[in-house]
Amino acid sequence: MDLSLELDKISGIGPKTYEKLEKAGLRTLGDIIYYLPRAYENYRATTTIDQIRPGKIMIKGKPDSLKSTHARRRHLTITEGVIRDNTGAIRVVWFNQPYRVRQLDPKKEYYFTGNYDFKYGKYQLTSPVVTEAAEVSENQSSFQPIYPAKNSLKPLFFKKIMGKLRPNFASIPDLLPEGYAPDFAGSGARADALYDIHFPESSDDVKKGKKYLAYEELFEFLLAAKLNQQENQKLNAISLPFNAENTKNLVKNLPFKLTDAQRIATWDILRDLEKPTPMNRLLQGDVGSGKTVVAALAAHQAAKSGHQTAILAPTAILASQHASGLSALLEPFGLKIALLTGATKQKASLKKQIKNGEIDIIIGTHALLTDDTVFHSLALCIIDEQHRFGVAQRQKLLAKTAISNPGLAPHLLSMTATPIPRSLQLTVFGDLDISILDSLPNGHQPIETKIMPEIEMQENLYPALRQHLKAGEQVYFICKLIDDGGGQFANSDLSSCGGGTAEPIGAAPATAGGRNHCSTIGDLRTGNTQSDVMKLSKKIKKLFPEYNVATLHGKMKPSEKDAVMEKFLKNESQILVSTTVVEVGVNVPNATQIIIMDAEGYGLAQLHQLRGRVGRGTKASNCYLITSGEDKPSRRLRELEKSTDGFYLSEVDLKLRGPGEIYGSLQHGELNLQIATLSDTKLIALARKHATEFAKHPEDMVKYKELNNNIKKYQQLTTLN
Ligand code: ADP
Ligand code: MG
């Protein structure tokens, strides 16, 4: 059976269902068969109410006396009631899920899964997931998959589809080339694995199935990396000769001494640029580690040999900061630098200059990518915060070299401030060369981090802030929402939690795999008016009338954002109340205080990034992580309090979130590894060995159509052409 078969060709799937699936991006049999459960419920694990203990529980019972009330202060809807079975009754509560009243029929039996614990003075079951008992039919296994919802498609919908497809599973062909399967599997292993995952009898079945699919995925991934590496070696790039005198001269005139890490990274890059094959290097360094000057030295080498560099940045603010930083460093050496963003005036004449080769280094946002930006000779591409860009954008930039210099590929330097756990580096970026800036430049001050419940701010925070403001320092307040009445997030970030909206019936419990580490808080947060940037801004203005308070959020026009940032940079405003748009790379050395509201609502990596807005000057800095104070602070926040080491924190994040999630946020979420096993070193070693072996005969690829297609997908991530 061919997995590329369109789903409408399969009996049991009618046109209506097909339409829904197609809308959700699931078109082929393969798409749906690889749509994997996100968790499993073991209905045998049900307890009766007289037996329950605090913790995660599953009970089977009938809802009673459900009613919703609106708590005005927090814009919160509370739905509460009781659940009964024939041994007793317990209290149940949902936040912001008023539809539960309509949805749950007191005459019907349901499974309720959730946390049962002591809160606000009583024991209660909080925001349980619900499955109608009648849907768990008697003759099915009592070990049931729970599918993630997708668009309007509910978990149960997927369960029904899988049921219909069940007879097809036996004829799923193997994907791996013969002789490259793991030693623990024989032929027909893929069909078995997929069956075990969708229709397991026990958690052992699931484990077995996942192990095989994980191997398969790793094999594809590592093979793609190997093939890319080989293919990139066959490409030609412009050789940019190293000139010791020029470089020394520039380094000598820098306003600071390079750190050892900077010197090593720069040296590796400058040598790569000399080669006639393209560089494909990732420069990793924590916020403030000084990546910009490394990029400047590389661009300088390109310019001195008469070729151009394009620097792509994710926001206008960041692009203009790079432009002014690089101008200061490089214009004294005769280099011409220009900025191209959406707001740039006289684009046409600037583009003419770029085309004529009058500009050496062009820094820009997406505006740089349009077809009418043509270079004279583009030799080097630098992408800052590379994970913010999609595959298509990346390719658009890289393709510009072949337009100015037919037949050639650019040297590529990708930069990221999101440290990748060392243990993942080889797997995730197996085909890239990596440079790491693992020490901060001297003179940078430590940041002291403190978790603080909101109610303590008045007494313990504002007086301290006043002192710092008096001393001429500046302050950031970060919160997530903008005042649009709907409690919508100002900007979604890959590393943060979801929006905490109502969960569809039957969705996975919040504890599954630690993914939704903040779903309950999310419920509360959506209604928290304190974290609304406009309201917070008003409040801060009242509290600090003697200072200028500026407000920044993602719904402002780029030019407005720039203007606000510019004022803050010049210390014309002393307090900046902002959403996470300030997150990326913004550099205001005089800002020493950052207060992050509702800190539990962010991921570890993002909090670390946000914190990096301070500690960039010569004064000691503080970061306050504000919580509701209702629960014990999460491990994430406690780790942040302890450490400012990005690499250490990335390892923690890896443990807490799992490698799949980390990988996803590193890669713009476009290609998430589905089965998180990047930490399984044995499996990786085996897959690597096999992939390396197979890559020696790339001509064999044509024999394996499905494998070939899958690999193309991964190859796009790091290919240079
Ligand atoms: P990031 O890696 O976050 O992009 P930047 O390149 O913006 O970091 O550098 C952060 C700050 O540190 C800048 O103000 C920069 O001028 C300064 N800096 C960079 N390298 C050094 C150094 N070796 N010594 C002192 N200051 C440095
Ligand atoms: Mg930077």
Query: What average pLDDT does the segment 616-628 reach?
Result: 91
Q: Is the Cα torsion angle 93, 95, 96, 97 positive or negative in sign? A: negative
Dihedral pair phi/psi, residue 691, rounded to 5°: -65, -40
Evaluate whether 448 touches 611 at the Cβ level (below 8 Å).
Answer: no
Instruction: Give yes or no for residue 285 CB within 6 A of ligand 1.
Output: yes
Relative to the CA of 294, which ligand 1 atom is closest? 6
Eight-class DSSP state of 6: B
Instruction: Give yes or no for residue 415 CB within 6 A of ligand 1.
Output: no
For the chain, the maximum distance between any two Cα atoms, rounded to a whole number of angstroms, is: 87
Report CA-CA distances (Å) from 539 to 168, 474, 477, 612, 715: 61, 17, 11, 25, 50
| Residue corresponding to tokens 């008003």 | 538
Relative to the CA of 612, which ligand 1 atom is closest? 3
pLDDT of amino acid 629 = 83
Q: Which of 75-89, 300-314, 480-494 has the lowest mean pLDDT?
A: 480-494
Closest CA to 473 of 674, 614, 677: 614
Instruction: Give yes or no for residue 435 CB within 6 A of ligand 1.
Output: no
| Residue corresponding to tokens 């623990």 | 184
pLDDT higher for 31 or 515?
31
DSSP 553-612: -TTS-HHHHHHHHHHHHTTSSSEEEE-GGGTTT---TTEEEEEETTGGGS-HHHHHHHHT
pLDDT of amino acid 281 = 92
Evaluate whether 452 touches 627 at the Cβ level (below 8 Å).
Answer: yes
Instruction: Give yes or no for residue 321 CB within 6 A of ligand 1.
Output: no
Ligand 1 atom 18 nearest Cα: 290
Ligand 1 atom 4 nearest Cα: 291
Evaluate whether 578 touches 476 at the Cβ level (below 8 Å).
Answer: yes
* CA–centroid distance, residue 77 to ligand 1 (Å): 47
CA distance 479 to 487: 12
Query: What average pLDDT does the segment 550-576 reach?
Result: 88
- Write b or e for each residue in 443-456: b if 16 or more Cβ atoms lie within 10 A of its Cβ, otherwise e: ebeebebbbbebee
Evaluate whether 365 touches 315 at the Cβ level (below 8 Å).
Answer: yes
Residue 12 has pLDDT above 70, yes or no: yes
Relative to the CA of 437, which ligand 1 atom is closest? 2
What confidence category does residue 106 fall into, taking pLDDT thresholds of 50, 70 and 90?
very high
pLDDT of amino acid 202 = 87
* Topology given in CATH for the domain delimited by 447-492+530-643: Rossmann fold (3.40.50)
CA distance 261 to 557: 38
What confidence category does residue 443 fall into, taking pLDDT thresholds of 50, 70 and 90?
low
pLDDT of amino acid 498 = 30
Give the closest ligand to the alpha carbon of residue 259.
1
Residue 505 has pLDDT above 60, yes or no: no
What confidence category does residue 491 fall into, taking pLDDT thresholds of 50, 70 and 90?
very low
Residue 138 has pLDDT above 80, yes or no: no
β-pairing verdict for 361-364 and 337-340: parallel
Mutate to test the pocket of ligand 1, among 254, 256, 609 (most ligand atoms within 8 A of CB): 256
What confidence category does residue 2 fall into, taking pLDDT thresholds of 50, 70 and 90?
confident
Ligand 1 atom 5 nearest Cα: 290
Q: How many helical (H) and strand (E) elements, i.e. helices and strands, does the chain have?
A: 23, 20
Residue 91 has pLDDT above 90, yes or no: yes
Joined tokens for residue 387: 């994970």
| CATH fourth-level superfamily of 244-437 | P-loop containing nucleotide triphosphate hydrolases (3.40.50.300)
Residue 501 has pLDDT above 70, yes or no: no
Joined tokens for residue 290: 């000084």
Alpha helices in 429-500 (DSSP H): 462-470
Query: What average pLDDT does the segment 445-458 reach?
Result: 92
Instruction: Give yes or no for residue 609 CB within 6 A of ligand 1.
Output: no
Residue 120 has pLDDT above 90, yes or no: no
Mutate to test the pocket of ligand 1, among 384, 587, 590, 647 (most ligand atoms within 8 A of CB): 587
3-state secondary structure of 38: coil
pLDDT of amino acid 649 = 87
Closest CA to 143 of 101, 215, 196: 196
* CA–centroid distance, residue 586 to ligand 1 (Å): 12
The amino acid that residue 308 corresponds to is Q
Instruction: Give yes or no for residue 617 CB within 6 A of ligand 1.
Output: no
Question: How many CA atoms lie less than 13 Å away from 388 in the CB half-sphere?
Answer: 22
pLDDT of amino acid 489 = 33
* CA–centroid distance, residue 617 to ligand 1 (Å): 10
Query: What average pLDDT does the segment 166-178 reach?
Result: 89
3-state secondary structure of 452: strand
* CA–centroid distance, residue 616 to ligand 2 (Å): 12
Counting residues of the chain whose pLDDT is more than 90, the rounded percentage is 44
Eight-class DSSP state of 63: E
Instruction: Give yes or no for residue 436 CB within 6 A of ligand 1.
Output: no
pTM here is: 0.71
* CA–centroid distance, residue 664 to ligand 1 (Å): 28
pLDDT of amino acid 408 = 95
Residue 278 has pLDDT above 50, yes or no: yes
Query: What average pLDDT does the segment 186-205 reach?
Result: 90
CATH number of 41-147: 2.40.50.140
Joined tokens for residue 15: 């046109």
Q: Which of 221-225, 279-283, 583-587 has the lowest mean pLDDT?
A: 583-587
Strands in 447-453's sheet, in edge-to-edge order, are 447-453, 621-627, 591-596, 474-478, 575-578, 549-552
What confidence category does residue 721 fall into, taking pLDDT thresholds of 50, 70 and 90?
low
Residue 253 has pLDDT above 70, yes or no: yes
The amino acid that residue 444 corresponds to is H
Query: What average pLDDT does the segment 171-184 reach?
Result: 86
Query: What average pLDDT does the segment 82-95 reach?
Result: 94
Q: Is the Cα torsion angle 176, 179, 184, 188 positive or negative in sign? A: positive
Mutate to test the pocket of ligand 1, among 259, 264, 293 (most ligand atoms within 8 A of CB): 293
The helix or strand, by DSSP H or E, that contains position 357, with its residue range, turns out to be none
CA distance 64 to 436: 59
CA distance 331 to 326: 8
Eight-class DSSP state of 518: T
Ligand 1 atom 20 nearest Cα: 290
Residue 389 has pLDDT above 80, yes or no: yes
Residue 311 has pLDDT above 90, yes or no: yes
pLDDT higher for 494 or 675?
675
| Strands annotated E in 240-323 | 280-285, 308-312
Dihedral pair phi/psi, residue 673, rounded to 5°: -65, 125
* CA–centroid distance, residue 29 to ligand 1 (Å): 51
Burial of 423 (0-12, 13-18, 19+ CB in 10 A): middle
Evaluate whether 27 touches 53 at the Cβ level (below 8 Å).
Answer: no
Q: Which of 332-336, 423-427, 470-474, 545-549 has the lowest mean pLDDT?
A: 423-427
Q: Is the Cα torsion angle 636, 641, 644, 647 positive or negative in sign? A: negative
CA distance 468 to 476: 12
Give the chain's mean pLDDT.
84
3-state secondary structure of 364: strand
pLDDT of amino acid 663 = 52
DSSP 621-642: EEEEEEE-SSSPPPHHHHHHHH
Instruction: Give yes or no for residue 291 CB within 6 A of ligand 1.
Output: yes
Residue 488 has pLDDT above 60, yes or no: no
Counting residues of the chain whose pLDDT is more than 70, the rounded percentage is 85
Ligand 1 atom 13 nearest Cα: 290
Query: What average pLDDT does the segment 141-149 reach?
Result: 82
Alpha helices in 141-285 (DSSP H): 155-165, 189-198, 203-233, 244-252, 260-274
pLDDT of amino acid 427 = 64
Ligand 1 atom 10 nearest Cα: 288
* CA–centroid distance, residue 286 to ligand 2 (Å): 9
Instruction: Give yes or no for residue 440 CB within 6 A of ligand 1.
Output: no
Give Cβ neighbours of residue 265 (< 8 Å, ≥ 6 apart): 283, 285, 294, 435, 436, 437
* CA–centroid distance, residue 441 to ligand 1 (Å): 7
Q: Which of 221-225, 248-252, 471-475, 519-523 has the lowest mean pLDDT?
A: 519-523
Rank 3-12, 377-386, 475-484, 606-615 by mean pLDDT and report only the highest: 377-386
Long-range contacts of 177-180 (CB under 8 A, 24+ apart): 177/694, 177/700, 177/703, 177/704, 177/707, 180/219, 180/690, 180/693, 180/694
Q: Do domains 41-147 and 447-492+530-643 have the same CATH topology?
A: no
Rank 119-123, 137-141, 419-423 by mean pLDDT and report only the highest: 119-123
Report CA-CA distances (Å) from 583 to 495, 553, 610, 661, 664: 12, 11, 5, 20, 19
Query: What average pLDDT does the segment 239-260 reach?
Result: 94
pLDDT of amino acid 355 = 97
Distance of CA 534 to the CA centre of its chain: 26
Dihedral pair phi/psi, residue 449, rounded to 5°: -115, 140
Kindly list the domain boundaries of the chain, sorted by start residue: 41-147, 244-437, 447-492+530-643
Strands in 433-437's sheet, in edge-to-edge order, are 337-340, 361-364, 308-312, 378-383, 411-416, 280-285, 433-437
Ramachandran quadrant class, 173 (left: phi over 0; alpha: psi -120 to 50; beta: rest): beta
**pLDDT tens across 35-46, in order?**
999 888 887 788
Instruction: Give yes or no for residue 417 CB within 6 A of ligand 1.
Output: yes
Evaluate whether 364 touches 313 at the Cβ level (below 8 Å).
Answer: yes
pLDDT of amino acid 497 = 31
3-state secondary structure of 55: strand
